[in-house]
Amino acid sequence: MAGGRVNTLWQVDGLVVKCYRADGESPLFPNRPETEMAALMALGPKGLAPKLRAAGQDWIVYDLLPGQLWSGYVQSAAQALRRIHAMPALAGFRQMPIGSAEILHQGAKIAAACKGQLPSPPPDMGVAGGPLHLVHGDAVPGNMIEQNGTVTLIDWQCPGLGDPVDDLAAFLSPAMQYLYGGHRLAREERTEFLAAFPQDLAARYRLLAPALHWRIAAHCLWRAERGANDYRTALARELESLGTLA
């Protein structure tokens, strides 16, 4: 199947067979079959993810979701993420960095593993993380399947317990929109997307946006230096937008 950037997928009738690359992890996006298996077992019956059918050490099989990739209507994407964030926290999932200090620390570690240089990180804005919620961890357009106006997310190999601002940043990221089949979101679309979330979450995202998107830029540089050449264009788009996404 087309679309995957790390793992390999095949469609077999109404099923998807997914095999995980052993070197598929990045510092920002883990690639853990056991985590995706647990997520699909918990969320598939609730309609928030595909239903798991079988699993092995480095592969899973799940139901093929009917529909097509996200159509571009930001409200449908926001509604899907709100349903996920409202779920009870799932035991055993990783805890993700929260708050400006932890986000900037993770971004700095990624940048330090690169030969190239990024613009200096933003100063720590002293923002604490919010309450821990279930977070998809890779909420990009290519992981959103839409049917009749309802979006369901796929690719659950890197969820965690964290601050939902991570999912908002992944969706709003110009780099991720470019890489995963979206489009350059207009200011009006970003405003509409954020307005669909609780006010405190949207406000926290706006405060943390410089740190969140600088960290995504660091990830793009890390991937580009390891042979993913389209991440260089993605990096340029993310850097162009720093300071304008809040």
pLDDT in tens, 126-175: 999 878 999 999 999 999 999 999 999 999 999 999 999 999 999 999 99
For residue 10, the number of C-alpha atoms closer than 13 Å in the C-beta half-sphere is 6
pLDDT in tens, 208-230: 999 999 999 999 999 999 999 99
Residue 61, pLDDT score: 98
Query: Do residues 54 and 136 lie in contact, with contact meaning Cβ atoms separated by under 8 Å?
Result: no
pLDDT in tens, 42-80: 999 999 999 999 999 999 999 999 999 999 999 999 999
Query: Which domains are present in the chain?
Result: 66-241 (3.90.1200.10)
Query: Do residues 180 and 231 lie in contact, with contact meaning Cβ atoms separated by under 8 Å?
Result: no
Q: How far apart are CA 234 and CA 221, in angstroms?
A: 9
Residue 74, pLDDT score: 97
Could you give the 3-state DSSP secondary structure of residue 3? Answer: coil
